[in-house]
């Protein structure tokens, strides 16, 4: 749930005293550029119209008390003994631990969080929680972080505290997104460009398979290990490369026999996906939406067969989408193994698309999918 400011204040005051300040960070959907951010590659996500809201007041002691409206649970996090517990509050504890590791001494805090980003749905509910609580905690101290530092801090919380070796995409877009635009990010330099999406010509429709990506973290880390092993083998042949971003398809082909077959496929996904992002954004700028959609389709195939992070339900959802009129492109989005698909659909076909895909997916799987249309939204901020 994404409460209005008055509502989150009321929720806060049901648990804590005082008048809180309120901060919000969006979830994201990645349009193209999947599983590239860890390899210095390119991504092209947008922020969605679902977000995590955090209301906060300082405390006199060194305790962070967090009430999660979604979990209906209070977590108590001692700033002097923060540790990972395998619990939803690890994201908040991780952010607090990283802020303190940066030399920013925090006071205790009372925090109330509420989110309408589906949890485990591949829309980065975790980055929305990290970024919203990071800016909320920072509001209590006389210290600010720029957007890049904030995104890096969220990623560190996830890598070093939660134990998920994610890249920077989710936190970066949660901070830097702008309304109406996709964010082309170079994950090596962190240079980015905001590229308008032509809302009048194509709508972004997100379909939740309702399958949670529980395998996500372990398989995510396993794919990353494969791909980094591939990079090391390639470095022995091409000493100049630093990451897969520096390897062309031709270079990979020439050295294919030096890599185990599954590692070659992992690397091929990353290398071809980077090119699809660049080609896709060029097509978008020239108004070639069909070409962009074709690249989204190719991205799904590569994730399914080379990177192997799709699943039966994602494949069914994508296949149904592609059979419907007005669909320019359809692919899984996010880490995979469940979660959502992203579809680019002609605006006059959206209503029929929603009905038809919900019906056919239910027939095929017995599951009732959540389907929503989103415009690209703005990044994290204080809401008043
Ligand atoms: C997860 C990670 C991101 C990114 C995607 C796959 O969402 O958090 O950093 O790697 O998977 O593109």
Structure tokens that stand for 188 in this block: 């090596």
DSSP characters over 352-366: HHHHHHHHHHHHHHS
CA–CA dist 332, 35 (Å, integer): 11
pLDDT of residue 1: 52
Distance, CA 30 to ligand 1 centroid (Å)? 9
Antiparallel, parallel or unpaired: β 42-58 and 109-115 = antiparallel
- 3-class SS of residue 243: coil
Quote the crossing angle between the two packed helices 350-365 and 312-322, to the nearest 10°: 140
3-state secondary structure 118-158: CCCCCCCHHHHHHHHHHHHHHCCCCCCCCHHHHHHHHHHHH
The answer for residues whose C-beta is within 8 angstroms of residue 172's C-beta and 6 or more apart is 148, 151, 183, 185, 190, 192
Q: What is the residue whose two structure tokens read 């980065």?
A: 124
Report the C-alpha gap between 222 and 293 in whole angstroms.
29
Alpha-carbon distance values, 154 to 5, 8, 93, 166, 235 (Å) = 24, 23, 11, 10, 30
Ligand 1 center–CA 2 separation, angstroms: 23
Catalytic residue among 40, 170, 226, 306: 170
Among the listed residues 28, 292, 341, 51, the one whose alpha carbon sits nearest the alpha carbon of residue 177: 28
H/E stretch holding 92 = helix 90-101
Q: Decide: 34 in ligand 1 pocket, CB within 6 A.
A: yes
CB 112 within 8 A of CB 69: yes
d(CA 163, CA 22): 28
Q: Which two tokens stand for residue 156?
A: 């560190």
**What number does the ligand 1 atom closest to the CA of 126 have?**
8
Task: Give the closest residue to 50 by CA, choosing from 382, 378, 383, 384.
Answer: 378
Tell which residue, 44, 24, 29, 113, has the closest CA to residue 281: 44
Give 169-228 as a DSSP string.
Answer: HHHHHHHH--TTEEEEEETTT--EEEEE--TTT-EEEEEE-S---TTHHHHHHHHHHHHH
- Strands of 327-332's sheet, edge to edge? 327-332, 340-345, 203-208, 370-374
According to the model, what pLDDT value does residue 201 have?
A: 97
Phi and psi at residue 112, to the nearest 5°: -125, 125
The candidate with the shortest Cα–Cα distance to 158, out of 147, 146, 171, 149, is: 171
Separation of CA 117 and ligand 1 centre (Å): 16
Closest CA to 105 of 143, 148, 152: 143
Reply yes or no on whether 116 is catalytic: no
Q: Which pLDDT value is given to residue 317?
A: 98
Which region, left, alpha or beta, applies to residue 313 given φ > 0 means left and ψ of -120 to 50 means alpha?
alpha
Minimal-distance CA residue to ligand 1 atom 1: 335
Q: Which atom of ligand 1 is nearest to the CA of 169?
A: 9
pLDDT of residue 218: 86
**Cα separation of 74 and 164, whole Å?**
23
169 ligand 1 Cβ < 6 A: yes
Probe ligand 1: pick from 130, 166, 173, 300, max atoms within 8 Å of CB?
166
pLDDT in tens, the chain (384 residues): 567 888 999 999 999 999 999 999 999 999 999 999 999 999 999 999 999 999 999 999 999 999 999 999 999 999 999 999 999 999 999 999 999 999 999 999 999 999 999 988 889 999 999 999 999 999 999 898 999 999 999 999 999 999 999 999 999 999 999 999 999 999 999 999 999 999 899 999 999 999 987 766 789 999 999 999 999 999 999 999 999 999 999 999 999 999 999 999 999 999 999 999 999 999 999 999 999 999 999 999 999 999 999 999 999 999 999 999 999 999 999 999 999 999 999 999 999 999 999 999 999 999 999 999 999 999 999 998
Classified as helix, coil or strand, 264 is: helix
Q: What is the pTM of this model?
A: 0.97
Which residue, chain included where needed, has tokens 């949670």? Answer: 212
pLDDT value at position 184?
Answer: 99
pLDDT of 215? 65
- The per-residue pLDDT for 247 is 97
Mutating to test ligand 1, I would choose from 34, 44, 165, 220 the residue with most ligand atoms within 8 A of its C-beta, which is 220
Phi-psi region of 133 (alpha: psi -120 to 50; beta: other; left: phi over 0): alpha
Which residue has its alpha carbon closest to ligand 1 atom 8? 166
pLDDT at residue 213 in the model: 74
Q: Is the CB of 335 under 6 A from ligand 1?
A: yes
Counting from 1 in the atom list of ligand 1, the atom nearest the Cα of 122 is 7
């Amino acid at each position: 749930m994404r409460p209005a400011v008055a509502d989150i204040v009321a929720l806060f005051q049901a648990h804590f005293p005082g008048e809180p300040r309120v901060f919000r960070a969006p979830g994201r959907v990645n349009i193209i550029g999947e599983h590239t951010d860890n390899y210095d590659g390119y991504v092209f996500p947008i922020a969605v119209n679902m977000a995590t809201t955090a209301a906060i007041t300082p405390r006199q002691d060194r305790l962070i008390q967090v009430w999660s409206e979604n979990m209906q649970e209070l977590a108590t996090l001692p700033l002097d003994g923060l540790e990972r517990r395998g619990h939803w509050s690890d994201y908040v504890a991780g952010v607090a631990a990283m802020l303190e590791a940066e030399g920013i001494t925090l006071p205790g805090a009372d925090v109330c969080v509420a989110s309408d980003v589906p949890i485990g749905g591949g829309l980065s509910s975790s980055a929305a929680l990290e970024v919203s609580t990071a800016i909320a905690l920072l509001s209590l101290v006389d210290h600010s972080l720029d957007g890049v530092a904030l995104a890096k801090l969220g990623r560190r919380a996830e890598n070093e505290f939660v134990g998920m070796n994610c890249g920077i995409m989710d936190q970066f877009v949660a901070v830097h997104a702008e309304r109406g635009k996709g964010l082309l990010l170079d994950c090596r330099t962190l240079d980015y460009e905001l590229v308008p999406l032509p809302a009048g010509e194509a709508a972004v429709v997100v379909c939740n398979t309702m399958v949670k990506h529980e395998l996500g973290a372990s398989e995510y880390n396993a794919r990353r290990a494969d791909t980094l092993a591939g990079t090391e083998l390639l470095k022995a042949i091409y000493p100049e490369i630093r990451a897969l971003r520096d390897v062309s398809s031709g270079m990979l082909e020439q050295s294919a026999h030096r890599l185990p077959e599954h590692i070659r496929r992992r690397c091929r996904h990353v290398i071809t996906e980077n090119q699809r992002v660049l080609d896709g954004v060029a097509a978008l700028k020239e108004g070639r939406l069909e070409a962009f959609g074709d690249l989204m389709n190719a991205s799904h195939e590569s994730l399914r067969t080379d990177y192997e992070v799709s699943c039966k339900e994602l494949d069914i959802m994508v296949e149904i989408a592609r059979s419907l009129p007005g669909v320019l492109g359809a692919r899984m989005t996010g880490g995979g193994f469940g979660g959502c698909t992203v579809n680019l659909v002609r605006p006059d076909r959206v209503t029929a698309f929603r009905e038809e895909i919900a019906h056919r997916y239910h027939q095929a799987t017995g599951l009732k999918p959540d389907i929503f249309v989103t415009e690209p939204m703005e990044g994290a901020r204080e809401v008043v």
